[in-house]
Structure 1
């Protein structure tokens, strides 16, 4: 039976080649769409790693400038006490500009035993950062006042770096080199990786450094954890307090909940665009396949009538058309799968092989389901042809 079907397909190879090309191109686009969807869903399942609901971000610039280290420390300590004294404030932390849900980044390279690790995000934060963000410390500890004068610079890494460099082994106490391998940094703790770029983005590699007097000169962010239900009146009072204290600074207060919503919309734009393109292609494949099958039925009425006259049932005729369509889809998917499988083999875009394999299986299933559904109605129309009528027309 299949030998006969292949012969029928080969006899109309020019017409079938165009349909197969359309299926192939649609499969590749759907593969890209499903890859993005699976990637986003895989990231979405992972925990956020911190609590953002009641955290505000204070941005300031042109802050207090002085050459005196003591004056600088005193200036920011008074500012901390003024904010902390407000009953609506639970905790606060001075940190670098690459705060959660922003596009600001500070990336570099580290190495462990000459094993490099690229695209590491460097964060600078003070002792109260984990309490402000409700971060989970998995191993070791966070920074404290004893880390001011140490031989090797103390750092805290996230669980992604720990897994990449140390696997299941202990990370605390290990020495990591900076980008030029001239400075050694000692790991004192491991924290849960947090999704700094929103729900659908990967956590990435994160390395935390302790604030010092030098960093206070350029940092311009304060993370403030407030009580639930903090009012707009309190926000206005907080703004006036900051503006009066930092008279030459431009102060801005933002809520992490709003910033999370904005960055999630920004992340979903490529997926929406690809989904629209994939949807149009799927519609084109469906219409093309439906039209080709309908045309084939009208052109092959004599053949179908002869098959019915020699004893073929309506179900057999319908199945033949469906099988032909599924064989065409299979040939297209074999070629498409060859190209798709190169992505996990070559580690394109540095995604896990499981994401590509899941996307490929979803795209294959979608194409098969689309072809099957589009073949049902024309197949039923072919099965309804009466032998006498078809042969009489011939």
Structure 2
């Protein structure tokens, strides 16, 4: 039975010993704090984003609804409103379902200047499907109707506080959304921003029958009926999709509905990425634990005479082991406290400056639960680091250690030497895994950035404008404003080129069908579909998109001129594989699709006047989809991205704001950013994984080198007598250096082989979550091996040099020193 007095005695002794060796203590505490802090911080994010249930009523019954056309290669597409109505009405599947689309909205009121807001136009039942009620007001009350002609809006708690100063009488007041008066019907609870980062919810104002089944532009969620499983609902929707394909072959052939658990949908690609980072940081922490265990073992061996004296005075083996564990526990407590501070600071930094669009970021926090996790994790770490060295020392035996009895020390025993060697091999193996992971992510980002995106982003500034429907209901006025704005911009000496587009590169346009007047769809062997993009004259020149044939749009192409179109190289290849595209004709598809309204005429023929290079329009890691470019004078669009090439971004931004204000002070200019930021955003996940894995790999490399150095330096110190004998018998300093370096490189080589094999699994894990990662990339493996081998060689050289400089006479006479 262990008494409290003996425990306190152990703690006092442990404290004195740790204070007596501050350098050793600080090294251990720093290693533990870094490992515990970083691992706990990453786990905190993973738990909040991936593991924790969604903050809605019975979230496991919520699903996202998408559509797919697998024969056409479309795995995930928005939902056509009429299809959604059929899905919602399907017997036995949903308790209810809601849909929305995301328009670009300007808000104007008496509270300040007009601003762009993140808004959605949603069916009136969106909040009830989620099981969330407004904190103020009644929200959308429509007695079961999904839409209502009365204009009502609900705002977020954040927007209510920031824009209106938490005005308790905000409900019932009027605001202008895109020039139309809406009544504020409610304020949502704090932290609610579904979907994504929404601040304003508009009630749907039009019936689904106003749109066709060709119009895939809405997002949707459903709440499964009690007792209905996800697979059962999928089966019912599959049967319905097949029936809709037979009833509406023109719009629904080969289209099907997809159901995804809402938590998986919201987490998206961030979930797997965060899990990979958790695996990587856990490997780094394990490596740190092995390193700390090695340091504790070395310290225990260095104190062998102290321990032998205690044993001689009557201390039992369990008492000595308990003393070693108490010292480890004390170090662990201090390290855990520091690690909690690191985790807290890291989480606060992540929330304040997110590295990319991380979902559920508002739910990430550091509370008492995380402190409990940290203390438990710290205790586990201490046990992992301290138990193995303590048991190893205990198992070595303390007999014959005192100099008077001629002992040679437990450090010379084969068991402890094998234990330390195994630790070094393990450190090198873990370092190999992390350095390979860093190399794979580095090479994947390099490949993505080397891949030609189809445009030149340097020197281009972009901005986004929304022309309100109430003011710009006439399409001719829309076209006139953008044409006039671009002309004024081009007159500035600081501007070399200016253009506009409905969709920037890497942003998918509207995927719609088209036909060729001289060829039937059956003759082509596949349905012809492309991304429809509205652009202005000068757009291709501003972005540096190469013209491969014919010409691009210019001021000749007016609304009254013959209808013309520019096609991408991929569309030309698919449509006319054997001939020239310029001069051919294309017939547009459907008339009405979502926010583009009725400006687009069904069945209108366009003449192809030019072919341009493919511009990445899905992602850097994906091939460009076929694209049809229409001139904005013939195919006007109210919401346009401006692109200006010229002087410094700050000057271009000021010019943009001034010119827009001169034309219409009520239209805010939003999302002003360099075009390069679009590329940076597309590689955001890759960049953060690359950065963190590079940091983890560098730390792992350092720890492995320290482990190799520590073992060899210790062995050289322990074997000074043997080295003296070798020198006395004729061994040269060079042969001793080869001996020491050879022993170190043998351990490093074994670790590299084991780590390389394990790194294959890590590579496959990375490839599953990041585009462009080649899990068996020989360059990454060879590079990692070379770097670790070089570091190991450097770590071996100092002990080898020390061995070669041992004086034979002194080594033979001196008592063994302990590292």
Residue correspondence of structure 1 range 48-67 to structure 2 within 5 A: 49-65=454-470
Q: Are residues 1:133 and 2:536 paired?
A: no
Q: Are residues 1:321 and 2:321 paired?
A: no
Q: 1:362 aligns with which of 768, 783, 791?
A: 783
d(CA) in 1 for partners of 2:500, 2:487: 12
Q: Are residues 1:83 and 2:486 paired?
A: yes
d(CA) in 1 for partners of 2:693, 2:767: 21
Output one character per residue of 1:15-57: Cα deviation in whole Å (capped at 9) or x when no partner: 2111111111111111122223333334445566434455332
Residue correspondence of structure 1 range 259-298 to structure 2 within 5 A: 259=677, 268-298=687-717
Task: Give the conservation status (yes or no) of the 8 Å contact 1:106–1:123.
Answer: yes
Output one character per residue of 1:161-180: Cα deviation in whole Å (capped at 9) or x when no partner: 98xx99xx8797699xx9xx
Output one character per residue of 1:363-386: Cα deviation in whole Å (capped at 9) or x when no partner: 101100001011111001112223
d(CA) in 2 for partners of 1:347, 1:170: 37
Output one character per residue of 1:115-146: Cα deviation in whole Å (capped at 9) or x when no partner: xxxxx998553454212212113467657969
Q: Are residues 1:29 and 2:448 paired?
A: no
Q: 2:812 aligns with which of 371, 391, 394?
A: 391
SS in 1 for 2:639: coil
Task: Give the conservation status (yes or no) of the 8 Å contact 1:34–1:363.
Answer: yes
SS in 2 for 1:328: helix
Task: Give the conservation status (yes or no) of the 8 Å contact 2:716–2:799.
Answer: yes
SS in 2 for 1:250: coil
Question: 1:84 deviation in Å?
Answer: 0.8
RCO comparison, higher one (Cα < 8 Å, 6+): 1
SS in 2 for 1:94: strand
SS in 1 for 2:777: helix
1:205 corresponding residue in structure 2: 624
d(CA) in 1 for partners of 2:654, 2:765: 55
Q: Per the alignment, do residues 352 and 158 of structure 1 end up closer, same or farther by CA in structure 2, a change over 3 Å counting? A: farther
d(CA) in 1 for partners of 2:463, 2:669: 7
Q: Are residues 1:254 and 2:672 paired?
A: yes
d(CA) in 1 for partners of 2:734, 2:579: 66
Question: 1:290 deviation in Å?
Answer: 1.3
Q: TM-score, length-normalised on structure 1?
A: 0.69
Output one character per residue of 1:62-91: Cα deviation in whole Å (capped at 9) or x when no partner: 4345897xx313432343134314512554
Equivalent residues, number: 357
SS in 1 for 2:786: helix
Question: 1:326 deviation in Å?
Answer: 1.0
Output one character per residue of 1:170-198: Cα deviation in whole Å (capped at 9) or x when no partner: 797699xx9xxxxxxx997451556999x
1:96 corresponding residue in structure 2: 502
2:757 corresponding residue in structure 1: 338
d(CA) in 2 for partners of 1:43, 1:236: 32
Task: Give the conservation status (yes or no) of the 8 Å contact 1:121–1:206.
Answer: yes
Q: 1:156 aligns with which of 568, 574, 577?
A: 568
Alpha-carbon RMSD: 5.0
d(CA) in 2 for partners of 1:321, 1:341: 31
Q: Are residues 1:191 and 2:627 paired?
A: no
d(CA) in 1 for partners of 2:617, 2:809: 69
Q: TM-score, length-normalised on structure 2?
A: 0.36
